[in-house]
Amino acid sequence: MNKHLTLLGSAVVLSALGLTACDSATATNEKKAAEAAAPVAVEKVAAKVAEAPKAVAKAVVEAAPKAESTNSEAATEVAATTETAAPKVEPVAAAAVETALKKEPEFKEGQHYFEIFPAMQTDAVGGKVEVVELLWLGCPHCFSLEPTIKEYKKNLPDYIDFKQIPAMLNPRWVADARTFFIAEILDPKGKMKLVDKVFHAIHVQKRARMAAPDVVKRFMLQQGITEDQFENAANSMVLQAKLNRARQVSADSQAQSVPTLIVNGKYRTSPYAAGSEKKVIEVINMLTKREFEK
């Protein structure tokens, strides 16, 4: 008897466990079914929302007097407008995102460039925008920037007047400014690349005392310049005028280091302020465009 009762109890327990497992499985299956059905339900709601404008349009058309064709045409136009208005939200949003991604980088005054006050006098003529690079022949950063400057000069717009001026921020740089201008006077169109060769001699060949008059003269003679040509350039009024102008630009720019780039006598920037050699060109492009469009 006890044996039968035990067997009966076990059967009841197993049945209960079976029911529990089944209930759990059923609950899980129902959850999966609900999850699977959710997108379908959303699609149905979306379909009804999409159909709503059509229903409104249909009601407008049916309510319009049939005898008046003008009203009928107007109702048709309303229907067409109502039908197509809703789906246009997404393309507009996408266009806004695309525009935001294509937006030019923002450079802030006081961080990436600085206003020069009072504004400097420029030498640009014919309404051109002047860009001046203040440099020092002995500056490794100026030498490093040279390839970027050369690339920038290749695609200059017609409205930009670019020039390099040796900085005279301290008495020691005066001799180097003199060397720069002598090379420029002897090679005004840059065909002999005298300024490039002086840069190369200082930073690559590590030639010492390139600012000394006798060393500079000997170097220029080695480049094919005659002694008379050198003496004429070194003692010319043109050289004195260039040195005076460089001294004035150096002072008026309020620059404290090189390389410094000046846009139209109004703004000053540098690779350090802009963030890199590439970005300083972006800052210059932004400022020159702004000045030209004024």
Half-sphere exposure of 76 (CA within 13 A, CB side): 7
CA dihedral 194, 200, 205, 206 (to 10 degrees): 100
Residue identified by tokens 């000069």 is 153
Select the more confidently predicted residue: 45 or 52.
52
* Predicted confidence band of residue 68 (pLDDT cuts 50, 70, 90): very low
Decide: helix, strand or coil at residue 68. Answer: coil
Encode pLDDT of 204-244 as tens digits: 999 978 889 999 999 999 999 999 999 999 999 999 999 99
Tokens for 161? 């007047």
Average the pLDDT over 56-75 and give the result. 44
- Predicted local distance difference test score (pLDDT) of residue 209: 81
Average the pLDDT over 263-280 and give the result. 98
Under 8 Å between Cβ of 173 and 166: yes
- Predicted local distance difference test score (pLDDT) of residue 236: 98
Average the pLDDT over 236-259 and give the result. 97
Neighbours of 223 (CB within 10 A): 15
CATH no. for 114-292: 3.40.30.10
- Predicted local distance difference test score (pLDDT) of residue 78: 40
Please state at what angle helix 194-203 crosses helix 174-186, rounded to 10 degrees.
140
* Predicted confidence band of residue 95 (pLDDT cuts 50, 70, 90): low
pTM of the model as a whole: 0.66
Encode pLDDT of 180-201 as tens digits: 999 999 999 999 999 999 999 9
Residue 148 in this model has a pLDDT that exceeds 90: yes
Domain boundaries, the chain: 2-102, 114-292
Encode pLDDT of 98-146 as tens digits: 554 455 568 999 999 999 999 999 999 888 999 999 999 999 999 999 9
Residue identified by tokens 């410094």 is 260
**φ, ψ (nearest 5 deg) of residue 130:** -90, 135
Please state at what angle helix 140-154 crosses helix 194-203, rounded to 10 degrees.
150
* Predicted confidence band of residue 245 (pLDDT cuts 50, 70, 90): very high
- Predicted local distance difference test score (pLDDT) of residue 105: 64
End-to-end CA distance of the chain: 110
Under 8 Å between Cβ of 272 and 258: no
Average the pLDDT over 151-180 and give the result. 96
- Predicted local distance difference test score (pLDDT) of residue 140: 97
Q: Respond yes or no on whether the N-terminal peptide bond of residue 65 is cis (omega within 30° of 0).
A: no
CA-only gyration radius of the chain, Å? 40
* Predicted confidence band of residue 56 (pLDDT cuts 50, 70, 90): very low
Residue 79 in this model has a pLDDT that exceeds 90: no
- Predicted local distance difference test score (pLDDT) of residue 92: 52
Q: Give dist(CA 249, CA 237) in Å, integer.
A: 18
Label each residue of 76-123 as H, E or C: HHHHHHHHHHHHHHHHHHHHHHHHHHHCCCCCCECCCEEECCCCCCCC
Amino acid code (one letter) for 25: A
Q: Are strands 129-135 and 114-115 parallel, antiparallel or unpaired?
A: unpaired
